[in-house]
Amino acid sequence: MLLGCQSIAPKDPESASNSAINNNQVSESVPPKVQHKRLRETLLAVSHQTYAETLDQCRYFPMGYSPCEGPARYIVYSIKTMSSAEQAKLLQQVEEYNQLDQFIQELRPIASHCQPKPVPRFSLINNQCRDANPLLKPLPMSNSNQM
């Protein structure tokens, strides 16, 4: 059973580019790139919170802006040790980060291969939430002795 955070719907590019700043989500004294870096570090730290007792404690969130369909990546984590207030704050930080990421990338566009990222499928391995999506697994090493 796939359980995940609701995907944060992308806004139209014109309103999204400044929405994080216009909504007072970014302190005027903190430059957007600094705020972006701080949020990135916070969100990546959540990716280490993977302990769960059941599969329904596993979640994911979309992280980063992609000019193609979907986010730049998905982060799998566990809500086992998170209060509902912490979960709500996390989703707010995800939205803020994604808006800042889009704003920054639109300032300096980068070429992209435009391959949408597959939505995570969860597995619970040794009480750790993991992405079981076969598209994200590394390719097996080839054995030169076999043909």
pLDDT band at 143 (very low <50, low <70, confident <90, very high): very low
pLDDT in tens, 58-80: 999 999 998 887 899 999 999 99
Residue 56: its pLDDT value, please? 95
User: Can you tell me the mean pLDDT for 137-147?
Assistant: 42
CA distance 13 to 55: 35
Q: Where are the domains of the chain?
A: 13-132
pLDDT in tens, 74-107: 999 999 999 999 999 999 999 999 999 999 988 8
Residue 12, classified by CB atoms within 10 Å of its CB into exposed (0-12), middle (13-18) or buried (19+), is exposed
Contact 50, 128 (CB under 8 A): yes
- Residues sharing a CB contact under 8 Å with residue 64, sequence separation 6 or more, in sequence order: 71, 72, 73, 97, 98, 101
* First-to-final CA distance of the chain: 38
Contact 80, 53 (CB under 8 A): yes
pLDDT at 11 over 60: no
Residue 135: its pLDDT value, please? 55
pLDDT in tens, 22-40: 333 445 688 999 999 999 9
Residue 26: its pLDDT value, please? 45
- Residues sharing a CB contact under 8 Å with residue 72, sequence separation 6 or more, in sequence order: 63, 64, 65, 66, 101, 117
Nearest residue to 11 via CA among 3, 1, 22, 2: 22
- Beta-strand relationship, 122-125 and 128-131: antiparallel
Full-model pTM: 0.69
pLDDT at 2 over 80: no
Contact 72, 65 (CB under 8 A): yes
Give the residue, 6 or 49, on which the prediction is more confident.
49
Which tokens belong to 10? Answer: 């992308």
User: Can you tell me the mean pLDDT for 133-145?
Assistant: 48
